[in-house]
Amino acid sequence: MAIPAGVKTSPAFPIPDEQRAWVLGDPGQLVYTKKPVPMPKKAEVLVRIDAIAICATDLDNIYHGPPAMIEGGLPFNKNWTPGHEYMGTVVALGPGVDEYKIGTRVSVEIHAGCGQCKRCREGMYTSCHNYGLNYGDVDKGHRANGFTTDGGFCEYQVNNINTLVAIPDEMSDEEGTLVVTAGTAMYALTELGGLVAGESVCVTGPGPIGLLTVAVAKALGAQPVVLTGTRDNRLAIGKELGADHVINVRKTPDVVAEVKKLTPGGKGVDYVVECSAASNAVNEAVRMVNRGGKVCLAAFAHEGVVPVDVAHIVRNNIYLYGIRGEGKSATHRAEAYMAQKRFDATKIHTHTFALDDLPTAIRYAKDRVEDAIKVVVKAKMDKIQKEAAE
């Protein structure tokens, strides 16, 4: 293909003119087609996508639209490619890029802030004021791959260098896709106070983010770490990842009281990270936490408006935080813990499919077929991998 001036490539990684890519048509309709391979601009690289995990937010984008925002509106029928939790290999460098080398394996964050708005200058690029203003060739700087620009259900994608996290060769492609999930967990704990050594944490909801929040909290030294949920097999994985106590809320008449029993004097935990999106989750979280404690909301109820006992929050001086994604470079810290084998993120990876079988992978993730937790899609699978997946 014709390589733009200033872009560096290598014969070791030939780049085709076109790539296979899934695009979103009507809600829930994915079409397998071909799209041009994009070229990196200043401060960007081209990543050959080796693997991508399916996130619950991908399902929201594909079936409902938000939080994806393409051309200022819903993403349907706009030749848009979803997907955001991917890893791969750097195969081309944009003009002036020397921070990474061709051939480097990387995991990627979603958001690259514009770098000029108030929030970006504070390091809060996941809250960039220019979110959604850059699809196509609108040069505002902000990108959110798989949300406001093309994502990773394809073979190649451009990424800003600020979103890249180099990963060791010893880390599998599948584990590399989980750096983003672990980064979200790390970001939640960063917002709650960072180092939680010796302090207690309750995680509500044993989905991918909840399970890795257990792992990250324990790796940071939290004691005890409590996990609540509805599925015993997922709670068992939570135990393997470091939970000191697990509580099945369907078998426990008063989950708040049960959590408090596990803390000194029954005063409640220091932190709660809410990952369940249950409609009563916020009210339960603010009652589990002790006075002056902190609650981080890493999920949101799909019912829309839910009642919250504000009076209880105010009377008890409780701090309530919301996070979006894996901000403040939390992915780098999460990757460091994963590279050191401080926890085994692959325990939440349950299924792998080929890129051309994405609809099946989506079905497994959406309907929790075979109790799927984290489903990974690979652009290239050898024969052994395909047989194992089948």
Domain boundaries, the chain: 18-110+145-166+344-389, 181-322
Q: Enter the DSSP assignment of 186.
A: H
Task: Report which of 284, 338, 346, 322 is spatially closest to residue 188, judged by C-alpha positions.
Answer: 322
Helices marked H in 73-136: 118-121
Task: Give the pLDDT confidence of 112-164 residue by residue, as tens digits.
Answer: 888 889 999 998 999 888 876 654 445 666 788 999 999 999 999 999 999 99
Question: Distance between CA 108 and CA 188 in Å, rounded?
Answer: 18
Give the right CATH number for 18-110+145-166+344-389 from 3.20.20.70, 3.30.590.10, 3.40.50.300, 3.90.180.10: 3.90.180.10
Strand partners, 108: 164
Q: Enter the DSSP assignment of 37.
A: P
Task: Report which of 276, 273, 320, 323 is spatially closest to residue 111, judged by C-alpha positions.
Answer: 323
- Contact assessment for residue 242 and residue 218, using Cβ atoms and an 8 Å cutoff: yes
Residue 292: burial class (beta carbons within 10 Å; 0-12, 13-18, 19+): exposed
Within the chain, strands assigned E span 18-24, 30-36, 44-53, 85-93, 105-108, 111-112, 143-144, 156-160, 164-166, 201-204, 225-229, 245-248, 269-274, 289-297, 319-322, 349-354, 374-378
The pLDDT value given to residue 388? 47
- Same CATH fold, 181-322 and 18-110+145-166+344-389? no
Per-residue pLDDT of the chain (390 residues; tens, 9 = 90+): 789 999 999 999 999 999 999 999 999 999 999 999 999 999 999 999 999 999 999 999 999 999 998 888 899 999 999 999 999 999 999 999 999 999 999 999 999 888 889 999 998 999 888 876 654 445 666 788 999 999 999 999 999 999 999 999 999 999 999 999 999 999 999 888 876 789 999 999 999 999 999 999 999 999 999 999 999 999 999 999 999 999 999 999 999 999 999 999 999 999 999 999 998 999 999 999 999 999 999 987 777 678 899 999 999 999 999 998 888 889 999 999 999 999 999 999 999 999 999 999 999 999 999 999 999 999 876 544 444 444
| Yes or no: domain 181-322 corresponds to CATH 3.40.50.720 | yes
Q: Which amino acid is at 190?
A: T
CA distances from 187 to 66, 158, 174, 180 (A): 22, 24, 21, 10
In the chain the first and final C-alpha atoms are separated, in Å, by 35
The pLDDT value given to residue 71? 84
Question: Distance between CA 40 and CA 47 in Å, rounded?
Answer: 9
Axis crossing angle, helix 208-219 with helix 179-191, rounded to the nearest 10: 60
Task: Give the pLDDT confidence of 188-201 residue by residue, as tens digits.
Answer: 998 888 767 899 99
Within 44-128, strands assigned E span 44-53, 85-93, 105-108, 111-112
Question: Distance between CA 79 and CA 347 in Å, rounded?
Answer: 35
DSSP 3-state of 376: strand
The pLDDT value given to residue 134? 56
